[in-house]
Structure 1
Amino acid sequence: MPSNPSNREVAQRFLNHVFVDRIDWSDEHHKDTPVRFVKMLRELTSQEEPEFTTFKANTDEMVIVKDIPFNSLCAHHIIPFVGYCHIGYIPGGTIAGLSKFARVVKYLSATLTVQEDLNRDIALYLMSKLQPKGIAVVMEAEHMCMTLRGVQVPGTKTITSSMHGVFADHNRLARQEFLELIRDRK
């Protein structure tokens, strides 16, 4: 019965294929690269679901957590995309500790995904946990698959949004107010 190859062997075969045997695996800089490569992918794609504690809300005014840094891996190329997430909600009876929003973004970003789906997943997760009157999530990110390969246009940002409840109505002031408040004011 053949033995299963180790993570090192699988990663080394993969890297050999990618680099067409141009890597000297005995070089001190390369000898542990296969293990570090596998470890990196695991780090970027594994997070424990955060505990999401809520509290009774004493307000129904908009709450915004802006400029939450995130990184994820493109589902098409397994190359990072990096950016910021902005979340706004109008409590429907409960609020959450502000750190929970960054934890949710980090948790849901730890996978192979596309920005559009990640944006929606964050909004739906928070909708289910908070039951707010509305939630708005806007993400802006630079995709390394556009920066480093293909079209090679560094600095290009992709902006996506997922609006629910009172934010979903394009004629509502809540949506307009949220978008105005997260606008970059440099």
Structure 2
Amino acid sequence: MSTGNIVAIVAVGISVLGGLYALYRHAIKTAEWRGEVNADRTSFKEFMQEVRLDIKTILGRLAPNPLSRESPLRLNDLGKTISTEIEGAAWADRIAGTMEEWVESKDAYEIQEYCFEYAAEFKYSDEERRTIRKSAYKNGLRVEQVHRVLAIELRNKLLALASLDPPS
């Protein structure tokens, strides 16, 4: 072999070793980067768990709501329980029976708004007020929220009288 060939082989060998060394360094850096990413992911998971806990704590401090958040408004399970406790459907039947003519010219929204105002301003008997306050206390609500349950019950009765579809 000539000296030129040996020099070429040594040069290629050095180039290959340099490439291998570069790959080795890249592999090390990649492993370090993966370690950092995994550490960041762990930190992020811990952060998200804290955020979830904070949100649950905040939501736990909010007063319960007897109405569904869907549209149109309707009673959720708590609202149905309250309505049963205060005999809301019977109250609504009694009141709706006196309003048949009034509902004929109204749309669903007008009826709903009227029912909220009516239930808030209605002159309840002493017994009805006690029952409403007892239910509000038992369920961690304000009296106004129990009035809203009555308003939904009344609205549903009036919508049926007006041949409008009450929410199911």
TM-score (norm 1): 0.23
* Structure holding more strand per residue: 1
Flag the structure with more relative contact order, 1 or 2, with Cα contacts below 8 A and sequence separation at least 6: 2
* Structure holding more helix per residue: 2
Q: Which has the larger radius of gyration?
A: 2
